[in-house]
């Protein structure tokens, strides 16, 4: 059994990574980096998802042993020039949370026609060991931002993100359905495929 350590304490992300791992034939278990809340925090000051993912994975792989992966993900809204982008988790400022971020996004897009509300979820995952990045994987999902939230599953911007091929928001999908189509599911499957080819 191969153990991969996730450089996150986000319960929602951990649950999705674990569910994705269960769907593969690769015998892998996902655990958070040991004692991550007590480790020095990585300052995510990169200008792209890839820079932040690599920096985070390399940072925590210098502090803990094993194969460590980190993701940086967010929402890019076309009408907002790609915002909130790498600032998705902190979009509403100090003390940001999902509810406040969603409120700010809705306010920014108020009165915008449906055909101008296109958005993309992006996830970049970096895998590292002993301070060095081994590989980087990217996944994306195209959608539309609704005028009001729908659904109670997921987290982040999921209730506002309509996935047109299914006609539902990511918050209206089961975890397994979301993993099949989401940016994070696609990036993580690429990581697992890369590992499988080398084991």
CA atoms within 13 A of residue 14's CA, in its CB half-sphere: 12
Q: What is the pLDDT of residue 58?
A: 97
Are 122 and 76 within 8 A, CB to CB?
A: yes
What is the side-by-side order of every strand in the sheet holding 168-169? Answer: 28-32, 2-6, 67-77, 118-129, 132-145, 161-163, 168-169
CA distance 92 to 97: 8
The highest-level CATH class for domain 2-198 is alpha beta
Q: What is the pLDDT of residue 50?
A: 97
Residues 6+ apart with CB under 8 A from 81: none
CA distance 62 to 36: 12
Each domain of the chain, given as residue ranges in start order, spans 2-198
H or E element, residue 4:
strand 2-6
Q: What is the pLDDT of residue 70?
A: 97
Cβ burial of 11 (10 Å; 0-12, 13-18, 19+) is exposed
Catalytic residues: 72
Rg (CA), the chain: 17
DSSP secondary-structure letter at 41?
P
Q: What is the pLDDT along the chain (199 residues), one digit of tens a residue?
A: 899 999 998 888 888 899 888 887 778 999 999 999 999 999 989 999 999 999 999 999 999 999 999 999 999 999 999 999 999 999 999 999 999 999 999 999 998 998 999 999 999 999 999 999 999 999 999 999 999 999 999 889 999 999 999 999 999 999 889 989 999 999 999 999 999 888 7
Model pTM above 0.75: yes
Q: What is the pLDDT of residue 154?
A: 84
């Amino acid at each position: 059994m191969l153990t991969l350590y996730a450089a996150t304490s986000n319960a929602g992300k951990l649950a999705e990574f674990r569910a994705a791992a269960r769907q593969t034939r690769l015998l892998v278990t996902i655990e958070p980096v040991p004692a991550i809340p007590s480790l020095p925090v990585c300052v995510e000051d990169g200008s792209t998802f890839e820079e932040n993912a690599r920096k985070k994975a390399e940072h925590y792989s210098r502090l803990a042993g094993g194969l460590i992966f980190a993701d940086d993900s967010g929402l890019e809204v076309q009408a907002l020039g790609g915002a909130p982008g790498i600032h998705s988790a902190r979009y509403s400022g100090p003390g940001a949370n999902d509810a406040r971020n969603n409120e700010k996004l809705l306010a920014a897009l108020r009165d915008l026609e449906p055909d101008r509300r296109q958005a993309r979820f992006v996830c970049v995952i970096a895998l590292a060991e002993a301070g060095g990045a081994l590989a980087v994987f990217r996944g994306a999902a195209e959608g539309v931002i609704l005028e009001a939230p729908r659904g109670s599953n997921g987290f982040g911007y999921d209730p506002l993100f309509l996935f047109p091929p299914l006609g539902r928001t990511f918050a209206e999908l089961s975890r397994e359905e979301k993993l099949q189509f989401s940016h994070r599911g696609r990036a993580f499957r690429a990581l697992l495929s890369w590992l499988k080819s080398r084991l």
